[in-house]
Structure 1
């Protein structure tokens, strides 16, 4: 290597050993294609320069700018600064891609640097333009112009390998949106690509927004469910026009239950909530509520879906929520006995007003006895008692009358009886106590694992009386 015009003047022993190692590995007869490949490799290595600064290894303090289309200013390997300037352009212009498949990794593997191998071959993957870019697991998040950047493999190496850059810094300056035409959907589903699109959408003109919108509108439902694509949809919803927002709504409600299925997804529910935040016209609200009402029960019983219902209750009018609340009331028992459903049912009671609320309360009251003995339903009954509305309390007490002794011995019902004692008026609590004392099994309440707490609460109320 050193006899060929002294192209490689390495000043460090590790690099000399590495080059010698490469020579020994490839001392075999070479074909014309291999000679061509060697010439290209030599051309690449001719652009490498290694130097010491005052005899000390150089470590860049930061490399936040060492990516996305620019030559490396101060990178180092094994503490030795290396210049990669122009290397990426050389790769594009000299057809090295063909050589890569022939074993370029055999030539750019540096053994025993700081006690381990650095294999640059594994650090590069083809980008969406068919060029080579650094793998996202390396210290670079990729090169849009085709520059090759190494991947970190050892935490004890210099800070160049141990730190990660702030991704997508000034991304839109390096890659105009026009260059992504026809690739928007693919970028939206990529971890780095979705961040790039969000960055671009934050500062692009209306023309650029229209371009992105046209490429994703037919796939917006699919993107809402994607771990990365949903963020692009959320950003697009923020910047698009009212008309485009309406078109997104119509797309995700085109088929029955499509919007409901999106709401049930952990990624989709975020995108839908962002969409609901931005809708303003009555037409948009009507489209959404008609679609959600079809799956109100499924949404109420789902951990992700319940957030969408809660958002509607908090931000839409009683008139808009009327159909949704009617479906919830019709399926009150099923929803109240579900872990997630019992929570959202309490929210429905809390936020509803007028006729919709009266119907909801009436349905809960009608099922109060069964709900009081349920592990989740008892919380709904207690919530109604906690409202301290005299008429609601009186109706509930009347529904439970004659069953207080049995409920007192139930794990969940005993909590309801105690709530009745504390939240009712004096004459009402007195009536409950007389019913407990007049029960044939009154003496058993004292030794029952749940009934004894009811008796203690009755004594507290009696003292107050």
Structure 2
């Protein structure tokens, strides 16, 4: 084997994209004159070919010179090793190509057969799920009751003659051609290929999977758009109006730029233009509600459509509220509907969540729907939600999503609905103030609750100010106690940290140096008034120099100095007022 042959073999090795599994973990070829020979073959072969007394693996330093001496003897063996390896590679590639060709043929036959049997129906591109009308969505769990996300599997409409300049494809056929099971397909691109465009799309498909299983995936197929949408995307100089996209509204709604265009135009559209958009959207509204771009068009219709259009659009959601609420984009549409439909329809929509309230509350999407219902729907229509929370307050308050819902409930629901839940909350105050989520619920009560409820919480904090102030989460609650307590309760909390203990120290000394408690001290300085403020400053001032070595000490120092400056100014003003009053009083005394 000459150097040219070896160089070509080296190129083959370097350009090999998908070696067999058994070779993927092997080391790179040994360096030297034969870079193309796999290192494992070089080592095994050299063990047998080296002279007696030189047993051992061929090293990078000795192999080239030794091979040069044995060139004639090694050439047949090296040729055999590399030829065998290349043969196995070529055979593997050939098997992959045959499998791919077979998959393409099966796909073509199936699509043509379906098109012949059902010429008026959409033809699925994925050959492994020919009978299921639904497919998985990357942003939400599968919901069998919900049609597939995005403008997928669009309902066949009576043929309408498009403008002469845009005869093909029709608005219902100009969708993104991406296999529903493709792992890299985005939500808006998981589309079906209708009609004659199925054959066009399959000509672009390039299967890449080497597996013969039913889960074989395909490369992303180029997006097929109508000429009108292509022109809209590429021609930025032309000003389009809604009337220019008649019969293409659904396709535009599923496109990033088209969706934004429709949203902007709906804000200023007249009633006829809104009706045109509404008529085209309605048959496909459920699919668009879960589409990454289409959901925004539906939201705009709820915002700017007529009340009759809003009612009809919301009617299409009947039976799908739960599945929409648990979906990333659908939950936004449900919230928008609750904002804009009338009370009776609000109650009808939200009632579908009965029996699944806790499931929605604990869901990253569904919790927003429950919050919106509490905010917008009259209290007597959401009593079933409140009833679900009984016995669950602590569990929900310590949940990352449940804590938000509990806060909205205490904020918007009347006292008679929340009284039992507040009693349940007060029983768990101590563990909640130290919980990473529960502390927010307690803070909310301190900030927005009734004085009676605030006093109950502050009474449980009293006696534990130092301990809780040093806690990462509870320190936030102590700050809120200081900020929103009554004057009497605030004075009691501050007296607790100023009280001198038997050893001559006081809790304030420890709090000033703590990474969390120092924020409580700062809050005390901000809100304290009367004689307590002077006492607090006098207790902190001797330790200001020592606080400089702490990274968080500078904030406390600046706050303390600012309060001290205010005290000095107040005293100066007080002295000036006293001097003026004495000055005016002297003449009167002398006259007397």
- State which of 331, 350, 356 in structure 2 corresponds to 1:249: 350
> What does residue 177 of structure 2 align with?
none
1:389 aligns with 2:482: no
1:279 aligns with 2:279: no
Structure 2: 5+ residue runs without aligned partners?
1-158, 175-194, 206-220, 235-241, 266-272, 502-506, 572-592
In structure 2, the CA distance between the partners of 1:397 and 1:221, relative to structure 1 (3 Å rule), is same
- The answer on whether the counterparts of 1:224 and 1:230 sit within 8 Å (CA) in structure 2 is yes
1:410 aligns with 2:546: no
- State which of 546, 558, 566 in structure 2 corresponds to 1:447: 546
- State which of 284, 288, 301 in structure 1 corresponds to 2:385: 288
Give distance in 2, aligned partners of 1:148 and 1:382: 53
In structure 2, the CA distance between the partners of 1:288 and 1:378, relative to structure 1 (3 Å rule), is same
In structure 2, the CA distance between the partners of 1:370 and 1:197, relative to structure 1 (3 Å rule), is same
In structure 2, the CA distance between the partners of 1:138 and 1:388, relative to structure 1 (3 Å rule), is same
> What does residue 25 of structure 2 align with?
none
TM-score normalised by length of structure 2: 0.45
- State which of 458, 461, 467 in structure 2 corresponds to 1:364: 461
> What does residue 286 of structure 2 align with?
185
Q: How does 1:55-74 map to 2 (within 5 A)?
A: 71=162
1:124 aligns with 2:221: no
Helix, strand or coil: the match of 2:261? coil
Helix, strand or coil: the match of 1:167? helix
Tell me the alpha carbon deviations over residues 10-42 of structure 1, each in whole angstroms, 9 at most, x when there is no partner: xxxxxxxxxxxxxxxxxxxxxxxxxxxxxxxxx
> What does residue 262 of structure 2 align with?
167
Between 396-405 and 414-423, report the one with greater CA deviation: 414-423
Helix, strand or coil: the match of 1:395? helix
1:84 aligns with 2:166: yes
Give distance in 2, aligned partners of 1:430 and 1:269: 47
Give distance in 2, aligned partners of 1:311 and 1:230: 17
- The answer on whether the counterparts of 1:296 and 1:328 sit within 8 Å (CA) in structure 2 is yes
Per-residue deviation, 1:413: 2.6
> What does residue 338 of structure 2 align with?
237
Count of residue correspondences: 346
Give distance in 1, aligned partners of 2:251 and 2:537: 79
Per-residue deviation, 1:362: 2.0
Give distance in 1, aligned partners of 2:530 and 2:331: 56
Per-residue deviation, 1:173: 1.3
Tell me the alpha carbon deviations over residues 394-421 of structure 1, each in whole angstroms, 9 at most, x when there is no partner: 3324544343333333233344345546
In structure 2, the CA distance between the partners of 1:102 and 1:247, relative to structure 1 (3 Å rule), is closer
> What does residue 176 of structure 1 align with?
279
1:100 aligns with 2:200: yes
TM-score normalised by length of structure 1: 0.55
Per-residue deviation, 1:386: 2.8
Give distance in 1, aligned partners of 2:349 and 2:323: 12
> What does residue 217 of structure 2 align with?
none
Helix, strand or coil: the match of 1:176? helix
> What does residue 330 of structure 1 align with?
427
- The answer on whether the counterparts of 1:133 and 1:147 sit within 8 Å (CA) in structure 2 is no
Per-residue deviation, 1:187: 3.1
Helix, strand or coil: the match of 1:411? coil
Structure 1: 5+ residue runs without aligned partners?
1-67, 74-82, 106-120, 126-131, 151-161
In structure 2, the CA distance between the partners of 1:240 and 1:368, relative to structure 1 (3 Å rule), is same
Give distance in 2, aligned partners of 1:72 and 1:96: 20
Per-residue deviation, 1:341: 4.9
- The answer on whether the counterparts of 1:224 and 1:268 sit within 8 Å (CA) in structure 2 is yes
Tell me the alpha carbon deviations over residues 64-94 of structure 1, each in whole angstroms, 9 at most, x when there is no partner: xxxx977457xxxxxxxxx3346649x99xx
- State which of 139, 142, 165 in structure 1 corresponds to 2:233: 139
- The answer on whether the counterparts of 2:465 and 2:478 sit within 8 Å (CA) in structure 1 is yes
Q: Give me the CA root mean square deviation.
A: 5.4
* Larger of the two Rg values belongs to structure: 2
Give distance in 2, aligned partners of 1:433 and 1:445: 10
Helix, strand or coil: the match of 2:327? coil
- The answer on whether the counterparts of 2:249 and 2:281 sit within 8 Å (CA) in structure 1 is no
Give distance in 2, aligned partners of 1:432 and 1:378: 19
> What does residue 209 of structure 1 align with?
311
Give distance in 2, aligned partners of 1:146 and 1:388: 60
